[in-house]
Amino acid sequence: MAVLEDLGHALALEVIAAAEELGDDKFFDKVAKVVGDASPTLLEAFTTAYRVRVADARARRFVEAALKAKRGGTAAPRG
């Protein structure tokens, strides 16, 4: 269902931005509880979108750090 995926994706983006602004690395868990209480189906879409985006961001930071280390002649980060 496209609407479900769109809503989960949009909410995930908002939560990532809000967590950064709030400085609250547990903000996702709080929102997930609220969503899950109302709609387990939306919770699944939201959780998937959030985790995929967070994993992508972490992977990209790792790649950047590895390239920076290589170019600077320093040890590569541990994976």
User: What is each CA distance from 50 to 18, 39, 46, 72, in whole angstroms?
Assistant: 13, 16, 6, 33
pLDDT value for 79:
80
Q: Tell me, yes or no, whether 79 lies in a domain.
A: no
pLDDT value for 44:
97
3-class secondary structure, 74:
coil
Residue by residue, DSSP assigns 9-42 as HHHHHHHHHHHHHHT-TTHHHHHHHHHHHH-HHH
Please give the model's pTM, rounded to 2 decimal places.
0.86
The pLDDT tens digits for 12-46 are 999 999 999 999 999 999 999 999 999 999 999 99
Q: Tell me, yes or no, whether 77 lies in a domain.
A: no
Q: Tell me, yes or no, whether 78 lies in a domain.
A: no
Q: Which domain holds residue 42?
A: 2-72
Quote the CA–CA distance of 74 and 70 in Å, as a whole number: 6
How much is the average pLDDT of 74-78? 90
